[in-house]
Structure 1
Amino acid sequence: MADPYNRLSARERLTEVHNKLRDWPSPLHLSCYAIKVLLYRALMHPATKAAKSQPNSNLRQWFAFALADFGQFIDFFASVNPGDLRGFWGRHARSQLILCGNFLVYLFLMAAERAHIETAHKMLEEFRVKVNRISLTDHTPTRAMIRATTIRTNSFFAQAAAVMRHGPEASITEPITVCGADGPVP
């Protein structure tokens, strides 16, 4: 089948850029992933129920590529430790972490196939565990940088089931559960 949208050539160009950035410092890696979020959100537009159910939609066509790229993001983020965040991580890193964390939630919610759902959930869980571990640091600027991402991922795990069962009208009456690296904090 022909590729009328040149998706394969676009994917090849994206891979070339990724390979050039492979050995760059961590803050630049994070910037690269933040840019990929914006790129994939544009490529996967519109993110609707109809697009989720149509195999030829932009959402479905680009989903596997986004999932693979953000599998690499999870590997990258797993290598980051609290000491790394004390280094050359500018204030922009906070918004970039939020963007990447939200994109992991987006991937989970937009997944249409069982294998994609399971992969996206696993990635989101690994990210949550790592974010919670980093948030245990005694370094206040690091905690401040990661706080919004920690709250977002923990609130997703605490409240997502009710919202998914009952839709956007779900009433969330329980407070947000604060989760540590190994589960809820008493």
Structure 2
Amino acid sequence: YMDGQDVYAQNEEQLAIFRRRQVGLIYQFYNLIPVLNVTENITLPVLMDGRKVNEERFNELISTLKLNGRENYLPNQLSGGQQQRVSIGRALMNAPAVVLADEPTGNLDSKNSQEIVELLKLSNKKYNQTIIVITHDENIALQAERIIAIEDGKITRDEVIKR
């Protein structure tokens, strides 16, 4: 069960809709669409769902992600950190219950990496989202509330971090 729904009882179409609405994905390599600008890349999940963009949420994301004034920029006009923030905006646009972040800082310098981690923490606190970060970076992992280490398909560590 997730968000009160039995995901095993859903057909393929229902699962696709469920994933699009309830799971946000952040990729190491951003996966932005090169011909779409910042606004279009961020709002794509909403538009694919045939829904109207919540302008208030969009503007809040743009501000939180420090992308003000870049709404019409194409991905190739942005730095790596800015591209990753667009990717995060796209993942958060639908206000999903769960965000899966696959090496979200893998292509970034330490300053941008820390900014991305802080954005994910903020999203967890502000929107009560579950954030699952897949990383090989121990410094990133140590900032989580819980660490689960997997080696050769087996859980080798499961630790709640006391702060």
Answer yes or no: same fold by TM over 0.5. Answer: no
In terms of Rg, which structure is larger? 1
Q: Which has the higher strand share?
A: 2
Q: Which has the higher helix share?
A: 1
Query: Please, what TM-score do these two structures have when normalized by structure 1?
Result: 0.31
Query: Please, what TM-score do these two structures have when normalized by structure 2?
Result: 0.34
